[in-house]
Structure 1
Amino acid sequence: MSLALPFQTAKQLAAAVRKKKVGCLELLDLYLKRVETHNPQLNAIIATDIEGARKRAKAADRAVKDGKKLGPLHGVPMTIKESYDVAGFPTTWGHPAFKDKIVTKNSAVAQRMIDAGVTLFGKTNVPLNLADWQSYNEVYGSTSNPWDLSRTPGGSSGGSGAALAAGLTAIEAGSDIGGSIRNPASYNGVWGHKPTWGVVSTRGHALNGRIAQADISVCGPLARGAQDLEIAMDVMAGPDDIDGRGWTLTLPRSKKKKLRDFKVGVILTDRNAEVDHSVQAEIQKLADFLGKQKVKVSDTARPAIDTAEMNDVYVRLLRATTSGRQTDAEFQAAQRDAAALPDDDMSYFAQMQRGNSLSHRTWTQLNEKRHQMRLAWDAFFEEYDLMIAPVAQTAAFPHDQQGLRHLRAIVVNNRKVPVVDQIFWAGYASITLLPATAAPIGESDDGLPIGVQIIGPQYGDYSTIAFAKLLEKEYRAFQPPPAYA
């Protein structure tokens, strides 16, 4: 059954534009009307340029009429995560200090999507510093999940996931260092792709003009279908202008056409981050389905990695990466905390403060451990094509914006655990720079989306997306939240 126009994929919408079944301005106005109707309760889209977007849509209509060569996303309305520079908008990352500082140049990702034909009309909400699985800040307020307004849409690309699921936009770009693409994709029932580190330029995705690419952090697409992820990666991926003088990117295309062509490992939970039975059950259902499709499935195959050590290395390198944002006072406090904590304290707070005050000598030691794990993963992928794992411990949890993040809790299997535990599942792919595609696979008993992450070998981005495309076709397609269909 064909979905209503606002819920179709970007590929379907671009095809309709090319075939003149819908006009670019008509399509934009359709989404703008839905934003007017539904966004006040969601607060997913927090800034728009309607006048400019309508001018660009009219120009896009003229290009169609004149028979000009059209980009793969010509006329497709798009919003983008607030953390990307877009000319004419501020880039705040939720900081009030930057709310009036207007950017004059597009980020690399925004420009490449515009060059591919999108009608970029707004920005979507984020948490402060992109550092939460909720999306709220002092500048733009709080975003809710379209499946249940009392719950988070995830973060940090939470506005992106909510806007896609509710049919307020056609395609999105997010970023991911701690699950920030995969988590909102899972919580909202859409698709997201965390690329291999370094294959998508992060130029213009930074606060206050920073240009160096951060360790672990990547930019990538979110969409209502896996095919859109592939199209967006075709557009986004590649070096910036400087690196492009010396190298080109050639990601291998997947040659596998059927599910049974794949060999996959499946992991349901881990002692370091126990997964709720509701999530485990949906992943097990998927594994059982794959087995019936003659996919070689193993529930024991794992890379030769100590997952506790993996998580420790990940959290410390992640916090080291973001430590440059600290004030001198915050850095000194982290140094004091790290010195005072016993060596066997492996709490998130302890790991965080060690990472926040990491010496370069220790960084190089942890980096060596990371690359040993990277080789272990590569050895795993010599026998298996993919690893299927949880995105997070639970489906979307209730809004909880009180106090420090690491002191908050979520309920997993009827007991409270620190919300920060679930960063483990983000690190499962991130610390070793691997690509991971998040795809919806089911719902919890209370009707909340549950996703899975499909992890592939380094530079195997199109393999994880190819598998997601097959799952979308044969297992579960996009389903709109009932209140927005």
Structure 2
Amino acid sequence: MALSLLERLQVWFMSAVMAVLYALFWLLSPRPTAGSSTKVPPVTNPLLKLSATQLAKKIRQREVSSVEVVQAYIDRIQEVNPLLNALVKDRFSAALQEAAQVDRLIEEETEGGEEALAERLPLLGVPLSVKESFAVQGMPHSTGLVSRAKVLASVDAPVVSYLKRAGAIPLGVTNTPELCMWSESHNRLYGLTRNPYSLDRTAGGSSGGEGSLLGGGASVFGVGSDIGGSIRMPCYFNGIFGHKGTPYIVSNEGQLPPSSGRQEDFLSTGPMCRYAEDLLPILKIMAGPNAHKLSLSEPVDLKKLRFFSVPHDGGSPYTSPVDKQLIQAQRKVVERLEADLGVKVQELRLPELKYGYQIWETFMGLPDKDGKPPQPFAELMGEGGSTVWPPWELVKWMLGRSSHTMASIGLALSEMAHFGKPSQFLLQQKEALERHLEELLGSDGVLLYPPYPHLAPKHHHQLFRPFNFSYTGIFNVLGLPITQCPLGLSREGLPLGMQVISWKLQDRLTLATALYLEKAFGGWRDPGES
């Protein structure tokens, strides 16, 4: 059984529309520039090369003050952000005041000493950054919409509140694509975010500002969200770690755009960081009252796990072939696992992955349990006013009068091409893939899979291959936890990486594997020294 003729025509039409639009974009848009530099300068302050876990301990033990740490990160942001355009609004003055309060608290602490502080405030005095789509009190909350340029958050999103209660200090908010629905962080409000390893390359999306700031050594850890790869792609492109957890563990409240239809089932909020040891403790804090569901305190013996490797999606006509350097990096992981742990990694082909984009697109459009469909993207673009009419918005864009990006206009136009009921064939493919993976992974299986077919593309090149995100998006529909791990650098000096996947609620398996891979392959590399 295969897609019907009508369904194939629909997909062909969408692809043709996107190709024409993006060709227009390429012809009419100015090329991005970032001065004469090609990447960010190296990190020189040793405080910037410590994990959040290490910094918290040093602050508690009074080996360094929170003010020193916060100031070190402010200095680094001021050094690299003019190149990266990752942080779009800072709260430096407030952060330094809060750091001074932390230092006074530590000086005055008498009951229980360091251990009590570690238990009560595990991130005390440690700075962080937050994706601008999350509400941070007093900070912009626009997701790149020009119409929301003056909107400030009145309260913190729950996940931000949990991190603050643990003692963390927000430095500011970071860039996203318009409405978080594209794989490059670019909008008409804040502009384009760049990759610290090569300024002419994308930082990804939608958590691209977070990925860029972290990859550039200008943040300790950050908050991201992922409905189609929005944590994993930026982590891959910027050479850092990130975790898309099992859905409904970490709260998604307090972020824009709001979920509708079935989308809440596929959205996950999670940590992004340069050091693997930070993933588990920060995830535990972010999960709040749900943390116990992941059994994160249970030890993981990697030698007792079953490992599987899938090198590509089987040749989908909608995705590019996987870069040979990524395939080789994944093979090196397999070789190291077998040599170091004595395990046998089984290479597999999962034929359903070939339909990854169509499955993701189908499920993103499904109604909720009450039959209410998801909110149209053109309506979200209108932000409470009149719904945007995409053809007219395209004309305005060509005349330089639109307040929306070509990526958003293209998505709204492609949405107009949707018609008919969901394909039974695609529903069956998703169900078959889900059954296969549940049987394969169980409670002790780990799957290795590329995060994207290419190395970090040059700016706006994703416009010509818009469906490559299906390497990440398919697993949102399946609801599986995934840790994105860096694997060194390519010949071009760009990050290599891999997704590490387990079955639902088995997040600790991928987190433990990430710790191993960091030791085996070096983890984050300072882009200024690469």
Give the TM-score category using the shorter length: 0.7 to 0.9
Correspondence list, 1:263-412, <5 A = 263-270=306-313, 271-272=315-316, 273=319, 274-301=321-348, 306-318=352-364, 323-327=375-379, 353=414, 357=418, 362=422, 370-382=430-442, 385-400=445-460, 408-409=463-464
CA contact (8 A) 1:145 1:162 kept: yes
Q: Which amino acid aligns with 1:324?
A: P
Q: Which amino acid aligns with 1:432?
A: L
Correspondence list, 1:27-426, <5 A = 27-67=69-109, 69-70=116-117, 71-207=121-257, 214-238=264-288, 249-253=292-296, 257-270=300-313, 271-272=315-316, 273=319, 274-301=321-348, 306-318=352-364, 323-327=375-379, 353=414, 357=418, 362=422, 370-382=430-442, 385-400=445-460, 408-409=463-464, 418=465, 420-426=466-472
- SS of equivalent to 1:86: coil
Task: Give, in whole Å, the separation in 2 of the partners of 1:259 and 1:444.
Answer: 27
Q: CA deviation at 1:108?
A: 0.8
Task: Give, in whole Å, the separation in 2 of the partners of 1:18 and 1:211.
Answer: 45
- Say if 1:207 and 1:294 are closer, same or farther in 2 by CA, change over 3 A: closer
Q: CA deviation at 1:208?
A: 7.5
Q: CA deviation at 1:248?
A: 7.7
- SS of equivalent to 1:376: helix
Task: Give, in whole Å, the separation in 2 of the partners of 1:232 and 1:214.
Answer: 22
CA contact (8 A) 1:302 1:380 kept: no
Partner of 2:11: none
Q: CA deviation at 1:249?
A: 4.5
- SS of equivalent to 1:306: helix
Task: Give, in whole Å, the separation in 2 of the partners of 1:15 and 1:66.
Answer: 17
Choose which of 499, 505, 530 in structure 2 pairs with 1:453.
499
- Say if 1:354 and 1:477 are closer, same or farther in 2 by CA, change over 3 A: closer
1:12-65, Cα deviation, whole Å (9 max, x unpaired): 111111111111111111111111122111111110112211121111111111
Runs (5+) with no aligned partner, structure 1 = 240-246, 334-348, 410-417
Higher relative contact order (CA 8 A, sep 6+): 2
Runs (5+) with no aligned partner, structure 2 = 1-43, 368-373, 380-385, 392-409
- SS of equivalent to 2:376: helix
Task: Give, in whole Å, the separation in 2 of the partners of 1:96 and 1:234.
Answer: 35
Q: Compute the RMSD of aligned alpha carbons.
A: 3.1
1:130-186, Cα deviation, whole Å (9 max, x unpaired): 122221111111111111111111111111111112121111010111111011111
Which one is further off, 184-193 or 33-42?
33-42
Task: Give, in whole Å, the separation in 2 of the partners of 1:281 and 1:351.
Answer: 37
CA contact (8 A) 1:318 1:355 kept: no
Which one is further off, 205-214 or 125-134?
205-214
1:15 is aligned to 2:57: yes
- Say if 1:364 and 1:61 are closer, same or farther in 2 by CA, change over 3 A: farther
Task: Give, in whole Å, the separation in 2 of the partners of 1:379 and 1:200.
Answer: 26
- Say if 1:209 and 1:186 are closer, same or farther in 2 by CA, change over 3 A: closer
1:433 is aligned to 2:493: no
- SS of equivalent to 2:449: strand
Q: Which amino acid aligns with 2:62?
A: K
Task: Give, in whole Å, the separation in 1 of the partners of 2:479 and 2:270.
Answer: 13
- SS of equivalent to 1:102: coil
1:86-136, Cα deviation, whole Å (9 max, x unpaired): 110121111011110111010011111111110112001111111222211
Partner of 1:343: none
Task: Give, in whole Å, the separation in 2 of the partners of 1:23 and 1:310.
Answer: 48
Identity of aligned residues (%): 28
Q: CA deviation at 1:298?
A: 3.4
- SS of equivalent to 1:154: coil
CA contact (8 A) 2:95 2:169 kept: yes
Partner of 2:510: 464
- SS of equivalent to 1:214: helix
- Say if 1:255 and 1:51 are closer, same or farther in 2 by CA, change over 3 A: closer
- SS of equivalent to 2:278: helix
- SS of equivalent to 1:22: coil
Task: Give, in whole Å, the separation in 2 of the partners of 1:191 and 1:395.
Answer: 16
Which one is further off, 374-383 or 125-134?
374-383
CA contact (8 A) 2:265 2:479 kept: no
Task: Give, in whole Å, the separation in 2 of the partners of 1:441 and 1:356.
Answer: 39
Q: Which amino acid aligns with 1:4?
A: P
- Say if 1:470 and 1:209 are closer, same or farther in 2 by CA, change over 3 A: closer
Q: CA deviation at 1:331?
A: 8.7
Task: Give, in whole Å, the separation in 2 of the partners of 1:364 and 1:236.
Answer: 37
- Say if 1:211 and 1:375 are closer, same or farther in 2 by CA, change over 3 A: closer
Task: Give, in whole Å, the separation in 2 of the partners of 1:367 and 1:294.
Answer: 38
CA contact (8 A) 2:390 2:413 kept: no
- SS of equivalent to 1:46: strand
Q: Which amino acid aligns with 2:471?
A: W
- SS of equivalent to 1:149: strand
CA contact (8 A) 2:356 2:471 kept: no
Partner of 1:336: none
CA contact (8 A) 1:91 1:207 kept: no
Task: Give, in whole Å, the separation in 1 of the partners of 2:423 and 2:138.
Answer: 38
Q: Which amino acid aligns with 1:148?
A: S
| Runs of 4+ off more than 4 Å | 208-213, 254-258, 319-323, 328-333, 349-359, 363-369
Task: Give, in whole Å, the separation in 2 of the partners of 1:355 and 1:289.
Answer: 48
- Say if 1:277 and 1:264 are closer, same or farther in 2 by CA, change over 3 A: same
Q: Which amino acid aligns with 1:391?
A: P
1:346-381, Cα deviation, whole Å (9 max, x unpaired): xxx99994797467x639996676455333211111
CA contact (8 A) 1:253 1:462 kept: yes
Task: Give, in whole Å, the separation in 2 of the partners of 1:107 and 1:91.
Answer: 11
Partner of 1:474: 520
CA contact (8 A) 2:357 2:467 kept: no
- SS of equivalent to 2:224: strand
1:425-481, Cα deviation, whole Å (9 max, x unpaired): 112421100000001012111110111100011011111111101211233232211
- Say if 1:306 and 1:88 are closer, same or farther in 2 by CA, change over 3 A: same
Q: Which amino acid aligns with 2:143?
A: W
